[in-house]
């Protein structure tokens, strides 16, 4: 009696492994049913589509459930002889331009394309203004010291600091 209780959980675990193993084999066979050229298109397309759950991976690299569904959807569309443009358009309509690693250049995505350059230009302009203001402050300080102490005393103090005297 006790031996039966011990083997029962093992049998359940074995049956789960078999079921999930067949699902994995079935998913692999779905991709294998594509021709070689279709498999190449599939691999190229799934690397061009961003996983909207992971956001930093393509659907080829992601293990998220949505990425698996999107890979299956791409595969079905390729098998249905949809063009790459039709497949990408389907993804954009469903998830927006964000789903593409290279979104099209238009008024909605201009910030994505030009934002980094604009930020860099603003940072460079700010640094340039800061350097100009600092230079003017140094010149103003030297001028006020020269007026307060006289040019000769200032030169003498500079020479002492530099160890020339």
Q: What pLDDT does residue 26 have?
A: 45
- The answer to whether the predicted template modeling score (pTM) of the entire model surpasses 0.85 is no
> CATH number of 2-104: 1.20.1740.10, 1.10.8.640, 1.10.287.70, 3.10.20.30?
1.10.8.640
Residues 64-87: tens digit of each pLDDT: 999 999 999 999 999 999 999 999
Distance from C-alpha of 57 to C-alpha of 72, rounded to nearest angstrom? 17
Q: What pLDDT does residue 28 have?
A: 44
User: Are the CB atoms for 35 and 44 separated by under 8 Å?
Assistant: no
Distance from C-alpha of 62 to C-alpha of 56, rounded to nearest angstrom? 9
Position 90 confidence tier, pLDDT thresholds 50, 70, 90:
very high
**Nearest partner of 31 among 82, 87, 75, judged by Cα:** 75
| Tokens found for residue 69 | 């569904």
**Per-domain boundaries in the chain:** 2-104, 113-162
């Amino acid at each position: 009696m006790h031996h039966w209780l011990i083997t029962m959980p093992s049998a359940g675990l074995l049956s789960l492994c078999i079921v999930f193993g067949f699902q994995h084999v079935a998913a692999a066979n779905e991709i294998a049913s594509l021709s070689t050229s279709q498999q190449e298109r599939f691999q190229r397309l799934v690397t061009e589509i961003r996983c909207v759950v992971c956001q930093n991976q393509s659907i080829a690299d992601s293990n998220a459930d949505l990425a698996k569904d999107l890979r299956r959807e791409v595969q079905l569309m390729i098998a249905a002889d949809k063009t790459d443009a039709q497949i990408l358009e389907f993804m954009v309509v469903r998830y927006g331009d964000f789903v593409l690693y290279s979104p099209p250049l238009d008024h909605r995505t201009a910030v994505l394309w030009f934002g980094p350059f604009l930020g860099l230009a603003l940072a460079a302009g700010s640094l340039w203004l800061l350097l100009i203001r600092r230079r003017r402050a140094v010149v103003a300080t030297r001028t006020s010291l020269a007026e307060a102490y006289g040019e000769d005393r200032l030169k003498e103090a500079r020479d002492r600091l530099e160890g020339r005297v």
